[in-house]
Amino acid sequence: MQFSRCLLAEVFLLLFSSIICASKADSNHISAPDTYVHGRLLRGADSSTEEDRGLWTELKSGVKTAWWSRREKSAAYVKAKLKLTGLDDAAMKASKNYHTYQVYLYKVEGLKLDKWVYGNMDTSSKVWKRFGLGQMTSAQRKSSPKLQTYEHFLKKYDDAVYKHGFAFQFPESKPEMEATLRIWEATNRPESYVKKLLKIDDGEDEFDVITHSVVTYYKSEK
């Protein structure tokens, strides 16, 4: 039952988004004067039809990826459904279905990370160590898919802190702190929220000197 409600909610959000997009397109539409040549009018109609098709395709893609991920369908199953089985990397990336496959993988990863955040109560430093990111050089981290997954986790972890009152665990290293800063910047967290987490104004935290410079850096990047 819970799965059905989640799926219906996601379908509703996708439908709502498509309706909003269509409404915005209609409100911004200016009728072509009668003096326009017939060919231009046809191109305008074709453009509108293509946009509608694009919205419908995006909607179907979102519903399918939500269904596959929540039903724990395997990557092999999804590849077969998207006609990607047996393709090499270049051919797969050239396929019109490759984006849908990437969305599916991201949603599967997100469901796993939700369990780490809300089930295991994992902290950002625990996941950092689990991925061995501290043993990598800066260049190795930047090119590692593990860093992307870590930042995906970090976004969910920070959402739990910001939206649901989870306790914030201060990062144990500078690279971890830099990753946290990137998430705060990307999600446009309020300065008051950042200062509260870093305990800048209480004068008691051992990280006072570091965190003052951190927030200065954070503000300068806005």
Helix (H) or strand (E) holding 37: none
* Structural domain includes residue 75: no
- The whole domain housing 144 covers 121-222
How buried is 100 (Cβ within 10 angstroms: 0-12 exposed, 13-18 middle, 19+ buried)? Answer: buried
- The dihedral sign for the CA sequence 179, 166, 210, 187: positive
Q: Domain tally for the chain?
A: 1
88's CB contacts (< 8 A; 6+ apart) are: none
Q: What is the pLDDT of residue 168?
A: 92
222 located within any domain: yes
Residue 13 has pLDDT above 50, yes or no: no
pLDDT of amino acid 18: 43
Average pLDDT, integer, range 78-85 = 93
Q: What is the mean pLDDT of the chain?
A: 77
In a domain, 206, yes or no: yes
Residue 183, in any domain of the structure = yes
Residue 20 falls within a domain, yes or no? no
Predicted confidence at residue 44, as pLDDT, reads 52
Residue-level pLDDT at 11 = 44
pTM of the predicted model over 0.75: no
Q: Are 201 and 153 in contact (CB under 8 A)?
A: no
pLDDT at 42 over 90: no
3 in a domain, yes or no? no
Specify the range with the lowest mean pLDDT, choosing from 50-54, 170-174, 192-196.
50-54
Whether residue 2 is contained in a domain is answered as no
Position 92 in a domain: no
